Each structure stands twice: as C-alpha cells, then as structure tokens.
Structure 1
Amino acid sequence: MFPYKTSFLLKRNTSQALYLQLSNQFITLIKNNTLPSNTKLPGSRVLAEMLNVHRKTVVACYEELLLQGWIVSIPKKGTFVNTDLPLLHYQKSTNDIVKSIKSKANFSFKKSKILERKTFPELTNFTVINDGVSDHRLTPIDDIARTYRRIASKKSTIEQLTYKSTYGNIRLREALVSYLNETRGLQITIDNILITRGSQMGIFLTAILLFKKDDLVVVGETNYIAADVTFSQSKAKILRVPVDENGLNTDAIEKICKKKRIKAVFVTSHHHHPTTVTLSAKRRIHLLNLSKLYNFAIIEDDYDYDFNYNHAPILPLSSHDSLGNVIYLGSVCKTVAPVFRIGYLIAPKDFVDEAAKHRRYIDRQGDALLELTFAEFIKSGDLDRHIKKVLKIYRQRRDLFCKLMTEELSAYFSFEVPKGGMAVWTILDKKYTWKQVSETAKRHQLEIGDWERYDLANNNHNAIRIGFASYTEDEIIELVKKLKQTMNSLDFL
C-alpha cells in the first residue's frame, strides 16, 4: 500500500483549511502519476487515522476531489483515481513534481527589443541619479488621506464601486476642465477630456489612434524616450529635427512637410525633454500654423507645467489651438507623487470618444475613489497650495545643485541653469565618456543609471539629465561629492 502518512504535509497554523491542503496534495500525486489511474484510495476512517486528522477532514477532501473530477466513487467498491484522466507529460521523468512556474515559456510569443530598459538594483548607501522626478516625501499624504476617508465614508460613494465611465470620473473631469481652463488658458468642455493613468497612457492611446505602419512622426533629435518607444511599437517611422536654445526647429519641420506627409509632431513645449529648453513664442505660432496647413496632429506633453522658477508658466500650444490640431497630455503624478496615477488627455470630442473606446480594453476604468479624492483636492485649493510649497523647495534645490556643480565640477561638466522643471541637462567634457563615468561611479556608491537612452539618434552630445528635485540639500551635497570623487578617480586612470 502507498505510504500515505509520509506523502502529505499538513500545516495547522496556516489560513488554508486542512481538507484543501490534503486535496491539493492528492492532486499533485495524481498529476505526477504517483497515484496512477484507477488506484484505490483508503477509506475515510483509515486515512484519517493515518494522518491524525478528523474523519470529516478526509470526507471533505474526497468530496472536493469528486467535484473536480480527480476521483470517482463506486458504490460497495470504494474510491478510485479517475480512469479517464490522461497522463500529464513532463519533459523529465514522470516522478518529477512541478513545484514552480518555469523560467521559460514552452510556447512562442512576440518579444520586443524596443521595450527593453536597464534595471538597477537598490543598493544600501548608494546615491542613484534620476532624470528629474518629484520628491515623494513632500506629498501631502495627510490631506489626501483625510479627503479619501471622508469620501469613502459617504453612503453615496457606494455607487462608485461598480463599473463606471471609461472617460473617467465625471467629478474629476469637471474639476479639471475648470482648473485647466483657468490656469492654462484652455477653452474646453467635459467632452474634450479623458482621464488616464498618467500621461504615458495618453501617449499610448494617441499612438494607437494616430499611426498606421510607416506613418511619419516628427520628434526632436533628443526626445523623451518613452514617447520614442511608444511610437516605434506602433510601427510609426520617427523623423528627427534639431533642438536648440529655442526648442524644436520648426523650419526643419516645414522642410519635411514640403517633401513628405507627416502624421504628427511630438513636443514637450514647456521644458523640452531631455534638454529643458522652452519652445519660443515664434516657433509655437509657426508650429501651429504648419499643423493647420499640413493637417498633422501636435502631441503636446506638458509634463511639468507647474514648475517654473524665473517666470510664470507659459501657456501651452493647446490654449492657442482653434481648429483642433493639438492633443494635450498632462498628469497629476509628477506634481504630487508618481504613485497617484492620474493624468488627462485633452483633444477634440471625436478623438476623445475613440480614445475612450480603446481605453476600455487596456484598463477598463480608473480608480473612482482616488479620482473623486483628487477632484476635491483640486477644488479645495490643496493642489495649488502644494505646488506653491514645493516650487519654493525645488528652486532652492536647483540653485544649490547648480552652485555646487559650478564650484566643484566645472572642469568636467557644462550646463545652462534650467528655468523650470526638475533636472539639469548636463554635458560631459568630450575627454570623458558616460560609460567611463558610470563604471567608475559605482566604486564611489553612485549609480549614474541608463545614460545611453539620452542619445538614441547617436548625435554624441555626451549629455544626460541629472535630477535635483527629489534630493534634500544634504543629499545634493552628497551626490556632488560622489560625482567629484568619481571624476577625480578618472583623472588618475
């Protein structure tokens, strides 16, 4: 007889019922053919005594196995492993028990080199350079949590717990329409806005709707890598134009338009990603005129509108769009904290309607309670108060970072002090490479990150973004210290 007592391991201090533990282990023995087809199982009393469990546990186990079809009960004969079960084929011997999911699939599927990004382990005492993100430690979490609790406690909120509109919560849409019209000079209605899970979803939905295979999209020679990847995945062809101190070169765009039919231009007009330069007023008007003349879309990602240190924010292209050429994307994520995945796509109604159809199949709807929370967060003025608070802090951090870089590292790096945003476009002296810096920096507990992604056009500009907003002043001093140690080490190589 099969030695049942040694084949089962029952744990009494777990949340899973004993009869389910027992039935799952029976299933494993049947699957790996330890209990072959038509094997007779012990009676419930006998097995209960063997395993030192209550008979009801074994009865419940057998009932579960019967319901699932693993065993059959034949009156006056007993309980047997089902004879109709096919043998499960393993690559190894039939005695091997599958204990975990394999690392490689045994079927074919599409893989994309475009989507690959380097990942870096989180190491203790390491300073990791980012490309400009907000400091999540400054998040007004108490205010947000208080609003969330108040909303969740209302009886009327129960209606928000089911499926709702794919356009996003109506109260958040109304709040954003009012807020964006007031702060950004837009002239939109609720029909023009779709709530997204951050601006990246907006870029993704826009690419799905705009591009067929080999459609042309114009971007800067340096550009936001996530947009490049998204457009490439959509099978669009990327054409690059120069970027200078005035932003995208619109004369170069016009030359392309005279020769080829382009479908869209992607622009981060406020602070070009990655260089942080602002698209000049002259080029803004020129680009809008070109879009109307040649009927292409302008995809405007206004990812850091709120962070300007030298002047008031410049109104987006969308505020001047009278014919419906601009698709305007933004988010709350970068302003408050990345965890709050709330963004928006603003466009003509017919485009928004189509985007909402597609959104249904990648993310049925957003988090209604979170969206209601941020509707209140905006209407109460809490968002504006948070922006004013962090704007002052980020400006101080920018000033300190640029001051230290100038005083300590001007022999190695050059840069323009950014007028806004959360990062500095930092150019390395041509005597060095970022590969050398990256490898040497690790010895000084500094992680440079994925420096290669800033030059997909292979222009050899030798620059990367170094964020400052997410570091305290002490952390900025430590970052610059480690970067100086790195460069001094390179000089001795």
Structure 2
Amino acid sequence: MLPFKSLIALDKSAQTAVFLQLAGQIRQLIGEGVLPTGQKLPGTRQLADLLKLHRKTVIAAYDELLAEGWLEARAGSGTFVAGQLPLVLPKPIDKRNDGQKGPAEPGYSFVRRAHLARPLLLMNDGLRLDDGFPDIRMAPMDELARAYRSYFQWGNPQQHFGYGDPKGNRLLREELSVFLNETRALQTTPDNILLVRGSIMGIHLASTLLLEPGQSAVVGETNWSGANMNFWQTGANLLTVPVDEHGMDVEALADICGRRSVRLVYVTPHHHYPTTVTMPPDRRLRLLQLSRQHGFAILEDDYDYEFHYLRRPILPLASADPHGMVIYVGSLSKSVAPAFRIGYVVAPEAVIDELARLRRIIDRQGDTMLEFAVGQLFRNGDLRRHLKKAHLAYAARCQHFCSLLENELNGVVQFAKPEGGLAVWARFDPNIDLKELAGKARREGLTFADGLAHNPPGQSLNSTRLGFASSTETELEQSVALMRKLTRG
C-alpha cells in the first residue's frame, strides 16, 4: 500500500474544506503518476483512520472524484483510479485574479549565464543622451509605407508570403551590393551578402561559425559588451589588448599572436566602440598583415559608417582585403531607426553559404516585406537622400553638443570631439559618482547610461557614451542644462 499518510498533508485550519483538500491532493497524485490508472485506493474507513479524519470526509472526497471521473467504483471490489482519466481543460479566466502571476521559477534546473546579464537601456519618453541612436523622427516613414504597399501589388503572392531565401530578399541584396561597392570600395555581388536582423545577429552567426570552446578571440579594452557576450557564449577565451587614441593597439595584438594561437579578432575601426576613435591607415594595414601571417579572421563591425564629419570616411578593412580574411558586418538600425531590424554580413561566398545554413536553425528567414521595402528605398534613391539629410543634421548636432559640453560642463566632463558617429565618449570627474548621477537624471526626466557596462574587470572608467543624434539642438541644450544643475548645484 502507498504511504498515504506521508503523501497527503491536510490543513484543518484552512478556509478550503478538508474534503476538497483531500480530493485535490488525490487528483494531483493521479496527475503526477504516483497513483497510476487501475490503482486500488484504501477503503474509506481505512483511509479515515490513516489520516485521522471522519469517514464522511473521505466519502465526500471520493464522491467528488467519482463525479469528476478520476475514480471509478467496482461493485464488490472497491474504489480504483479510473482507466480513462478525464480531459483536463484550462480553467476559465477569473477576472478577479488579474493580479496573479505565473510561476517565477521552473521545477527544473538550468544555468544562468552571468555574461548574458547585460543592462538594457530603453528609449523612454523625455530627454535622452542615449548610446548613439538615430533620430527616428527623421526616418523616411511615408516612403517606407509606399514601398510596403507596393509589395502587395508586385509579382506572385505565393512567392511573397511563402518561404524565401535564408540569405534575404534578393532585391535588397542587389541594391546593398551596389551601394557598398560605390560608397565603401567593396567588391561584392549579392552572393557575398547575408541579410540578418541587426548587426548583433551577424556577430552571433560569425562567432558560432568560427569559434570553438577553448579557442581565442581578441577584442579591444574596452569593447562592446554585445559582441563580448557572443564570444563568451561559444566558450572561447576572450583576450583583450589596449585601446588608445588611435584605436586597437595592433602591436600588442602582434605580441599575443607570437605567444598563442588566435582564431578571431573583433574590431570597430571606423569609430571604436565605445570610445569613438578612428583607427588610422597604418594600423589597418598592419592588422591585415597580421591576419594573413597568423591566419586569424577579422570580424569588422562598421555600425555607423555613414556618419563621419571631419573628412571623408576611411574605407573599411574589407575594402583592402583581397585574401578573404575579413567578415564585414553593418546595420541599417543605426542609419534609419532601431526598429529597422536589418543588418548585413559581407564575406566570401562559401562563408555566406554556411552562415545562411546556421541562420536557418534560429530564424528561417528575415522580414521579407521589410527587406523588399528597404530595397525599394535604395532603388528609387529615397534611402540615399535620407542618409544625406541625416548626415548633415547629425554633423550639426555633434558640433552643437560638443560646444555645450565644453562651455557648460568644463571641468565636469572631459572628451575628444569625435570624427564621426552618433555619440561622444565622456569621462567624468572622479569625484562624481556616475551611477548616482544617472539615477538622479532619470528621476528628473533625462536618460543616459551609467557607464558600468564599459568598465573592464576590476576597473572603473567613470565614463559613458552620450548620444547626441536622437535629440534636437534644443533638446541637447535642455539635457546639458539639467546635467549642469545636477553636477554643480
């Protein structure tokens, strides 16, 4: 006989009637398989004695379960778990319990990976000096809406709404190939391009393809945490090299390569993240030379190439790479709006083919309608016109914001005016608690990051990125005035 006395625990002081508690616990034992179908239950008198209950309480519980179909009575034999258990239907929503939540923790174990605990900075209402986002108010929404409508009027509906190429919409890949070849001196065809949902998906796929547990990836110190998370996720060893006013120290990288095998080097040479500095041509050429010499892949993240203000943009590493050592990643999210989840990976065809196979097991294909619409914006010139307009606006905002920082926060913030990009790397006075300041500002209606995500292990840079592109000049003035008030009283 099963140990019913230890399996069933009743609370006679509870509001729920004892016979209902007993019925519920027997029902649970059946549902969990502790009481299998066909199992004979103790007689009512026997179970009452075991549980110190009145026999009528047990009879009432059995009657409840018999009526629900969980038990069946066999004349002259006793009471058994039913051979055909009742269908368990979801309970109707009780609007009086709207505040109730589902379970916070599962009944099974899983590993919480510390490297995935990355702060989330949302675009709240009010003033913001964000991580370096575009101004979504400038996005070509009317043009995009027209392009969306044309999708429903063009070609074969079966082709539109069925499964497509995991590499992405052909029209957009064709247009991107032309655009990248013209503006960045790349040498691509559509077959060299994989469309992804933002550059971080491209980084995830590339790191999954290239890195095995125990292999080494090298990044700058400090670096974008989103990229670091993907490298850690593969089980790779993440090594860091110093970053100075010219970007990654490639001679420090050469020293590492002389001592151990390196599989991948991740760089943001156009505007290093987070410090915004630009890597000069001599370091770029040296990095490419090291790549060929030691056989490591270069993952070049060119997240905001379109926005360079002091001179013509320096061409990407990928434009000077005839040997196929560079995987080039870019995004339209920083060019248009974060909700445009379109990024791209440029690489040799064999790499693109394999990345597309990896992409299929996490995301069968991208947003075909959005990709087509953006392809149309490229084809008819709307997107190029938007980028030119945005470039002029962001250059003016950069100049204005840097003047505000210099005039209003001199002594509080140190910075070097960026050559391009959408943010300023700001180093705060050591006497200012940046986390506390960010909290005070948020309560006053200004959102900016506290910079903790940029700190290397064991260090406090007391620095953060202050994005200027998503704010008008008036909003920038209000933001700096509030920061001045909070830091100087």
TM-score grouping bracket, smaller chain normalisation = 0.7 to 0.9
The 5-angstrom pairing of residues 251-400 of structure 1 reads 251-400=251-400
Offset of residue 261 of structure 1: 0.5
Partner residue of 1:63?
none
CA distance in 2, matches of 1:331, 1:123: 23
CA distance in 2, matches of 1:122, 1:386: 22
CA distance in 2, matches of 1:235, 1:40: 52
Offset of residue 39 of structure 1: 2.1
2:195 partner SS? strand
Aligned residues: 417
Partner residue of 1:463?
463
CA distance in 2, matches of 1:415, 1:441: 20
CA distance in 1, matches of 2:450, 2:306: 26
Deviations 1:398-456 (A, max 9, x none): 11111111111112111111110000000112232313423443453333334200113
Q: Does 1:130 align with 2:158?
A: no
Q: Does 1:103 align with 2:131?
A: no
CA distance in 2, matches of 1:409, 1:221: 27
Distance 1:35 1:211, change over 3 A: farther
Partner amino acid for 1:452? L
Offset of residue 130 of structure 1: 1.1
1:366 partner SS? coil
The 5-angstrom pairing of residues 7-86 of structure 1 reads 36-39=64-67, 84-85=84-85
Contact 1:265 1:298 survives alignment (8 Å)? yes
Give the % identical residues.
41
2:426 partner SS? strand
Contact 1:192 1:347 survives alignment (8 Å)? yes
Contact 1:445 1:482 survives alignment (8 Å)? no
2:114 partner SS? coil
Distance 1:397 1:274, change over 3 A: same
2:166 partner SS? coil
2:116 partner SS? coil
Contact 1:422 1:469 survives alignment (8 Å)? yes
CA distance in 2, matches of 1:448, 1:470: 12
Partner residue of 1:406?
406
Distance 1:123 1:195, change over 3 A: closer
Contact 1:118 1:450 survives alignment (8 Å)? no
Partner amino acid for 1:322? P
Q: Does 1:220 align with 2:248?
A: no
CA distance in 2, matches of 1:208, 1:443: 40
CA distance in 2, matches of 1:140, 1:121: 22
Alignment gaps of 5+ in structure 1: 1-29, 42-69, 72-80, 89-96
Offset of residue 260 of structure 1: 0.7
Contact 2:208 2:234 survives alignment (8 Å)? yes
Q: TM-score, normalised by structure 2?
A: 0.79
The 5-angstrom pairing of residues 127-276 of structure 1 reads 127-276=127-276
Contact 2:119 2:453 survives alignment (8 Å)? no
Q: Does 1:424 align with 2:452?
A: no
Offset of residue 121 of structure 1: 7.8
Offset of residue 292 of structure 1: 0.3
Q: TM-score, normalised by structure 1?
A: 0.79
Partner amino acid for 2:282? K
Partner amino acid for 1:108? S
Contact 1:177 1:188 survives alignment (8 Å)? yes
CA distance in 2, matches of 1:167, 1:459: 41
Offset of residue 334 of structure 1: 1.1
CA distance in 2, matches of 1:426, 1:266: 23
Deviations 1:129-185 (A, max 9, x none): 311100111111000100110122224244121111111112211111111111110
Partner amino acid for 2:410? S
CA distance in 1, matches of 2:155, 2:335: 31
1:460 partner SS? coil
Deviations 1:355-383 (A, max 9, x none): 11110011010111111111111111111
Deviations 1:95-144 (A, max 9, x none): xx99753222112222211111334688765x343111001111110001
1:159 partner SS? helix
CA distance in 2, matches of 1:83, 1:295: 66
Offset of residue 299 of structure 1: 0.3
Contact 1:221 1:243 survives alignment (8 Å)? yes
Contact 1:301 1:328 survives alignment (8 Å)? yes
Distance 1:100 1:436, change over 3 A: closer
C-alpha RMSD over aligned residues: 2.9
Contact 1:444 1:486 survives alignment (8 Å)? no
1:285 partner SS? helix
CA distance in 2, matches of 1:457, 1:291: 27
Contact 2:124 2:447 survives alignment (8 Å)? no
Partner residue of 2:14?
none
Contact 2:118 2:225 survives alignment (8 Å)? no
Offset of residue 31 of structure 1: 8.9
Distance 1:168 1:119, change over 3 A: closer
Moved more, 444-453 or 187-196: 444-453
1:235 partner SS? coil
Distance 1:232 1:121, change over 3 A: closer
Partner residue of 1:8?
none
Offset of residue 83 of structure 1: 5.6
1:39 partner SS? helix
Deviations 1:290-326 (A, max 9, x none): 0000000000000000001111221100011111100
CA distance in 2, matches of 1:34, 1:456: 64
Offset of residue 246 of structure 1: 1.2
1:435 partner SS? helix
CA distance in 1, matches of 2:412, 2:65: 74
2:156 partner SS? helix
2:313 partner SS? coil
